[in-house]
Structure 1
């Protein structure tokens, strides 16, 4: 996964956790302002989320943040 996507994922997770608490869930779409602005990056996130880790559509932000930080 490219560094810019990792940074964006951590940033979004931090923001969601700060706003809604540790129990907040999100999908990989949360990392994109416009889902069609960068199809390659969207597919990279989707592949990591769905194919590589077989995550549910919604996962806890704290879980995703830890997974990305541990990469």
Structure 2
């Protein structure tokens, strides 16, 4: 999975597309715990579980944690 978008401006098309691709990947590959996915934003640090739409919002509001390493 391409991760170059996580360092881009959160208002850019590339960041938006990257977030959507990340969410889709998580949902399609059953990365779910009780219908929720881990949030890799700077605030949650992949420790909190939320519904996909909340994770998406957090990735725009708090930014994607660039130290996130679990790319498949």
**TM band (smaller chain):** 0.3 to 0.5
Output the TM-score relative to the length of structure 1: 0.44
Output the TM-score relative to the length of structure 2: 0.43
Higher helix share: 1
